[in-house]
Amino acid sequence: MTGVDELRSLSLFAGLDDDQLAELIEGGEVVRIEPTVELFREGEPADFWWVLLDGAIDLLRHIDREDTVVARMDAPGRWAGGFRAWDQQGVYLATGRGVIAGRVLRVPADVLRDRSNAWFPFAAHLVEGLYHTARLIESTARQRESLVTLGTLAAGLAHELNNPASAATRAVDELEAASQTMLASAGRLIRGGISAERFAALDALRREVEQGTAPQDPIKVADREEVLSSWLVEHDVAREWVIAPVLAAAGVDVAWCERAATVLTESALEPGLEWVSSALSVASLLSEVKGSTRRISELVGALRSYSQMDRAAIQLVDVTDGIESTLAVLGQRLTDNISVVRDYGTEVPRIEAYAGELNQVWTKVIENALDALDDAEAGTLRIRTRADGAYIVVEIGDTGIGMSPAVAARAFDAFYTTKPIGKGAGLGLDIARRIVNRRHGGTISISSRPGETVLRIRIPVTQVPPSNAG
Model pLDDT, residue 426: 43
Domain coordinates in residue numbering, the chain: 4-119, 158-298, 312-460
**Cβ partners under 8 Å of residue 397, min gap 6:** 369, 381, 382, 383, 384, 452, 453, 454, 455
For residue range 6-33, what is the model confidence (pLDDT) as tens digits?
888 888 888 888 888 898 889 999 999 9
**Which residue has better confidence, 150 or 68?**
68
Decide the pairing of beta strands 338-344 and 379-388: parallel
455 pLDDT above the threshold of 80: yes
Model pLDDT, residue 305: 58
429 pLDDT above the threshold of 90: no
| Mean pLDDT, residues 220-246 | 88
**Cβ partners under 8 Å of residue 132, min gap 6:** 87
| Mean pLDDT, residues 197-215 | 80
For residue range 303-317, what is the model confidence (pLDDT) as tens digits?
665 555 445 567 888
Cβ(42)–Cβ(450) under 8 Å? no
Number of Cβ atoms within 10 Å of the Cβ of 309: 9
Question: How far is the C-alpha of 132 from the C-alpha of 134, rounded, in Å?
Answer: 6
Question: How far is the C-alpha of 268 from the C-alpha of 288, rounded, in Å?
Answer: 30
Alpha carbon 330 to its chain centroid, in Å, reads 8
Cβ(377)–Cβ(337) under 8 Å? yes
301 pLDDT above the threshold of 90: no
Cβ(104)–Cβ(50) under 8 Å? yes
103 pLDDT above the threshold of 90: yes
For residue range 111-158, what is the model confidence (pLDDT) as tens digits?
988 888 888 765 655 565 555 555 555 555 556 655 666 666 666 667
CATH label, 312-460, candidates 1.20.1260.10, 3.30.1320.10, 3.30.565.10, 3.90.226.10:
3.30.565.10
Model pLDDT, residue 454: 92
What angle, rounded to 10 degrees, do the helices at 18-27 and 109-119 form?
160
CATH class of this structure's domain 4-119: mainly beta
Reported residue count of the chain is 470
Model pLDDT, residue 183: 92
CB hemisphere CA count around 339 (13 angstroms)? 6
The values of phi and psi at residue 358, to 5°, are -60, -35
**Which CA distances in Å does 98 have to 107, 125, 466, 470?**
18, 33, 21, 13
The angle at the Cα of 116, spanning 110 to 117, to the nearest 5 degrees, equals 90
The values of phi and psi at residue 133, to 5°, are -65, -45
377 pLDDT above the threshold of 90: no
Q: Which amino acid is at 34?
A: E
Looking at 74-123, which runs of residues are DSSP E strands? Answer: 79-81, 95-108
415 pLDDT above the threshold of 60: no
What angle, rounded to 10 degrees, do the helices at 355-373 and 319-329 form?
50
The values of phi and psi at residue 61, to 5°, are -115, 145
Closest CA to 107 of 30, 1, 40, 3: 30
First vs last C-alpha separation in the chain: 30
> For the chain, what percent of residues have pLDDT higher than 90?
24
Local structure of 455: helix, strand or coil: strand
What angle, rounded to 10 degrees, do the helices at 196-211 and 269-307 form?
40
| Whether pTM exceeds 0.75 | no
